Structure 1
Amino acid sequence: MTRPLLMLTAALLCSPALHAQQIQRQLGDFDFKLGTTPSRSMAQGLISPSAVGAFHGGLDLSHPSGWYIGQYAPSMGMTPDSTLRLDSYLGYKHHFDSTLGYEVGLIHYSQPKLTDADSYALYGGISVMGSRFGGAWRDNPDNRTGTLFADFGRLPLFDVDLTVKVAHHSLGTPFTIGDGSRVSGFSDWSLELSRPWLGLDLNLIYSNSDLSGGGCDAYAGINAYCESVVTLKAQRNFF
């Protein structure tokens, strides 16, 4: 995806005519989506989360054959304390029927204003009866990461959506902490319950890792915090 195409995305997201979280158009045989949240199902569990308060958005172009391409910016870098970040992806999705399908793809993570900040992830998964199970391998010289995630969809007894994610990180260079010991790798995980309520998206998130104390100095994982944290988040999308 090119920088001009990204700027077109930003312009459309700023347009007063955009009153929905996501807009969709047909361009010949292609399905075009533009919005403030990730469009792609399997990649949505793996791209970088949106930074709090950051301007974000992206686009997605798919073909009936199953091929798709897209780009999502978790941060457009429009404020002094933010950096432009881009997640670009290419993949293929196929459904055998309404209950079973699979998906594979490649994600390119980049921060154009920083040097040596690019990395790649191969991802894939299956969808079964409305639930999604997938994984990815992200190659970064400083931190190679294997991720597994499961989106169980709506739990009927509790009327909430359940998502679980587990990752293992192998550091390219072991990190030495204050007591002289070294951290060469760590694991982290998160569990998220979510549901809409009175126009708000409510999310209850539990996250943790196997690092603690001084070992948290080496932490750079999928969660915002190293140690056990419960977060209640409520957000409303204005467009």
Structure 2
Amino acid sequence: MPNLSWLAFFVAAFTTGAATAQTLLQRDLGGFDMTLGTTQTRTMAQGLVKPSNGAVNGGLDFTHDTGLYFGQWTANSGSSADNLSIEMDTYAGYKHRFASSGYGYEFGLINYDHVTQDVDPSREIYSGVSIFGSRFGAAFANNPDRSNTSLYADLGTTPVLGMGLSMRYGNYMLNSPVTLASGDMVRSYNDWSVNLTRKWADTQFNFSYTGTSLRGQDCSSYSGHNAYCDNALLLRASHPLF
């Protein structure tokens, strides 16, 4: 029986609709829709891949009527002017949906450049399909210290549960194995998550289960998608004020 850390969190996130849309400029430039803003306007691979977030964000996105898109997103996660941590994400891709067929596809490439750190850039190739309300995505990232493979599935609202269901799986291969205090070495690991959502009485409920293949002291080498290395159950609720 695997060790299970039961972590229950109930977070009331009260936000207004106006606070979520920070578009500073929007123009039509020769068939391209240009958007400049401080809130991300795009996710790639049907929601699997998205630019980084930080304390200060800004980006420029160009989308053509044919489905071609490209842009750049900059995020600063530093806490002060003396502690800058700026990441610049440059992306390009193509997205198409067949009219009235319920089917669409997408593919592209994103480059992550750590401007203020002496770290080589990393790149991620992604693709996704949408089929009758369900979305599936896959991505492969080549980082300076490891390679990542991610799979994503959003099945929409399931008829049996009456809840939104999405799942994510990741595999991480380390370029240099991590040596633990016990002498054991960690060369690769996996993580996963299952997320359920449902709206009730104007409140959005989000229930998720996350886990990894690492246990105990092995968790010192974990740096995946999940907030915790050990298995965890999370509950979150959000309700708008207006």
Tell me the TM-score range normalised by the shorter chain.
0.7 to 0.9
Distance change (3 Å), C-alpha of 1:43 and 1:83? farther
Q: Does 1:68 align with 2:69?
A: yes
Between structure 1 and structure 2, the one with the greater Rg is 2
Q: Name the CA shift for 1:26/1:38 in 2 (closer, same or farther; >3 Å).
A: closer
Aligned equivalent of 2:111, options 108, 111, 124: 108
Residue 4 of structure 2 is matched in structure 1 by none
- 1:166 matched residue in structure 2: 169
Count of equivalent residues: 218
Counterpart secondary structure, 1:215: helix
Moved more, 152-161 or 102-111: 152-161
Provide the rounded CA distance (Å) in 1 between the counterparts of 2:197 and 2:73: 22
The answer to which of 92-101 and 123-132 deviates more is 92-101
Residue 162 of structure 1, CA deviation:
2.1
Cα 1:87/1:232, change in 2 over 3 Å: farther
Q: CA deviation at 1:124?
A: 0.6
Q: Is the 8 A contact 2:119 2:144 kept in 1?
A: no
Instruction: Work out whether residues 39 and 59 of structure 1, in 8 Å CA contact, stay in contact via their aligned partners in 2.
Output: no
Match of 1:21 in 2: 21
2:79 counterpart residue number: 79
Task: Give the AA of the match of 1:45.
Answer: L
Quick one: structure 1 residues 90 and 189, their matched pair in 2 at CA, closer, same or farther if it must change by over 3 Å?
same
8 Å contact from structure 1 (residues 40, 60) kept in 2: no
Gap regions ≥5 residues in structure 2 = 1-17
Change (3 A) 1:60 1:131: farther
- Check whether the contact 1:35–1:59 (CA below 8 A) recurs between aligned residues: no
1:141 aligned to 2:149? no
Q: Where does residue 233 of structure 2 map in the other structure?
A: 230
Structure 1 segment 81-230 matched on structure 2, within 5 A: 83-98=85-100, 99-195=102-198, 201-230=204-233
Question: 1:109 offset after TM fit, Å?
Answer: 1.7
Task: Please say which of residues 106-115 and 79-88 is displaced more in the overlay.
Answer: 79-88
For the 8 Å contact 1:207–1:230, the answer to whether it is kept is yes
Structure with more contact order per residue of length (Cα contacts < 8 Å, sep ≥ 6): 2
Give the helix-richer structure, 1 or 2.
1
Alignment TM-score, normalising by the size of structure 2: 0.77
Corresponding letter in the other structure for 2:68: W
After TM superposition, give the deviation of residue 204 of structure 1 in Å.
Answer: 2.2
**Structure 1 length as normaliser, TM-score?**
0.78
Shift of 1:91: 0.2
Q: Any idea what the Cα deviations from partners look like across 1:61-106, whole Å, max 9, x if unmatched? A: 2101111012344x43352377223332110112233311111100
Per-residue deviation at 1:157?
A: 4.7
- Could you tell me how far 1:119 is from its partner in structure 2? 0.3
Identity %: 33
